[in-house]
Every structure is written in C-alpha cells, then in structure tokens.
Amino acid sequence: MNLAAATNESLAQTSNVLIYSSMAVYTLAFFAHIAEWVFGSRSKVGRTAAALTGAEGEGTAAAAPARAARQGGGTAVLDRPKIVTRAAAGSRDVPDGPGAAGGTFQGDLYGRIAISMTVLAFLVQAGGVVARALSVQRAPWGNMYEFSITFSTVAVGAYLLLLALKKNVRWMGLLLVTTVLLDLGIATTLLYTASDQLVPALHSYWLWIHVSTAILCGAVFYIGAVATLLYLFRDSYEAKLAAGRQPGAFARSVLSRLPAAGSLDKFSYRINAAVFPLWTFTIIAGAIWAGDAWGRYWGWDPKEVWSFITWVAYACYLHARATAGWKGRKAAYLALIAFGCWLFNYYGVNIFVNGKHSYAGV
C-alpha cells in the first residue's frame, strides 16, 4: 500500500470515528432536550407565580381571573388560567406558547445545554463529512451513505442558522435530533459503503452543483415538514379549546408550549416557498448534467420522474396557498404529501427501483 492509499484509508477511518462520535453527542443532546420539556412543564406553584406576575396571561386575552383552588397552610394555590381563543376573520387569534422551556429557569438551562450539545455534535459530524471527502478526494455524496450523513449535517446546520438569526425554532430541537439520530443509525448500519471512486459519468463539476443543491433543498423541506406536522397537532389542540373542550394531558403539557397554529402555518409556508426555486434549479442542473453524461437532457428515469413529481406536489401546494387561499389543514396535508414524494425519491427510488441513478449503489 503506497503512502497516498494509506492516507486515504486513515482519513476514511477518521470519518467513521467522527460520525459515531457525533451520534454519541447527539444522544446527549436528545436527553437534554427531553429534560427541557420535562422540567419546562410548570407546576401549579409555578403557574400561580406566573399568573400573579402577569407572565402567562398578560397581553394574550387568554387568562381568566385567577381563582384559589384550595388553601393549605395559609398559601393559596391557583388553578391554571383558562385559555380563551379569539376569532378574527374566520381564524383563531392565539398567542404563541412559551416554548419547550416553558418560561422556567430550569427548563431554559437544559435547553441551552441541549443547543450546546447540538452545536458540538454538528461540528463533529461536519468534520466526519469533510474527512470522508478528503479520503476519496471528491464531493462526499457519491452514494446513499454519504448523502445521508451530509443531509443530516445540513439539516442541523439550517436549524442552528435559524437559531442564530433569532428565529423562534428551539421547539423543533427534540424532533430534529431524534430524526438525525435515526438517519445516522440507518446510514451507519444499513447504507454504509466503503470509500471508493465514482464511475466516469459522475466525474463532473455538476456533481458539486446538482447534488449539493438537492441536499440543501431536502434539509430545508424537512424543516418545513416538521413545522407542518406540529402545526396539525397544535391546530387540533386549539380547536378543542375553542370548542370549550378540555385537551388531554399531553396537549396541556406539550402542545400548549408550541407556537400558535397560525405561526407554525406561516413558518412552514415561508420555508417551503423560499426553497422551491432552488429545487427548480436542482432539476434543471440535473438535466444539464444528464445531457453532458448521457447525451440526453431528460429520459424519464425513475429518479427524474420522482424529482418532477416532487416539484409538481410543492408547486400545487404553493399555488393553492397563493390563488385558492388554502391555509391550515388542507394546505398542510398537501405539504406533507410533497415531502413524502421527496422521501420516496430518495429512499424508495434508490433502494427499490432500478435506473441510471443506481450507478453508485447503496
């Protein structure tokens, strides 16, 4: 084995170590996020203090006058203030929840620890992706394993960027870290492929352009899908309150701390609308690359077909929002169907369907 081959093998091993190390740190972040949600659930005493200081009911039209529930040792313990929703132009006017930390010091502390662990895990995982690229001296997304580890890295990076821009997205942390761990677990156990060079057709600068934009689009679409899914749960919670029914314990403990359904709906729409032009460019770039590599721009290959189906699904979602005035649950279902098309385009087509895009193997 010559020096270059030995160096590449060493870098490949380093990449594997870093990916596994990032999984360990993500696991710590997962438990910290769990603690944030658990300790951010306010006790009755905490709710009483919040009600007395106006922290929970002020400016929201959501707090009824505090009522003494029972007396014990001369100390009044108050019930949770009743939440009242306001209807405006056919929609509910509900304030955002206090977030995963619940507005408590202890919950916020665990939340900050979770974010710190997520940042550390992101840096370690990014190092693993870079080491993989150096070991093969090409873009680190030539097969499903490399695509997966890069995809989750970009998804976490997009989430941390939103946090750095002071966006209210910390409530997404637990679900994000959970799915990143799932993605890395599948990648390292089922999709792992040893470092190797690509077939001649892929030796093109379009590999950097086309696949990198596909990864970025998928990561941002994923964030939009998470917000859409949580919107459906929060909307059901608000609907029960508006109907005068009592939500279950899970809804009172978890869903009450999420942003309002209207906020989640706007967030998911803006995320999907922002990245849709880039997905359009991804398909165009793939067609140009196909013309260079295979002598035709479009050949109805399964990957091409499902990329186009995904484009149509998101186009229908954005068109319905812009022209038909679809908001809320109908639009949310369309957005989830569109993301489901993207997932099938990646996992389903690559694993179960044969085509020209099967050159890299799993």
Confidence of residue 214 (pLDDT cuts 50, 70, 90): very high
Alpha helix ranges (H) inside the chain: 3-39, 44-53, 105-136, 144-164, 173-189, 206, 212-242, 249-253, 261-294, 302-319, 329-343, 349-352
- Is the pLDDT reported for residue 85 higher than 60? no
The least confident of 41-55, 133-147, 269-283 is 41-55
Check whether 62 has a pLDDT greater than 50: no
Residue 201 has a pLDDT of: 65
* pTM, to two decimals: 0.82
- % of the chain exceeding 70 in pLDDT: 81
Residue 136, CA distances (Å) to 18, 141, 158, 241, 256 in order: 16, 11, 26, 56, 48
Least confident of 18-27, 329-338, 348-357: 348-357
CA contacts within 13 A on the Cβ side of 337: 15
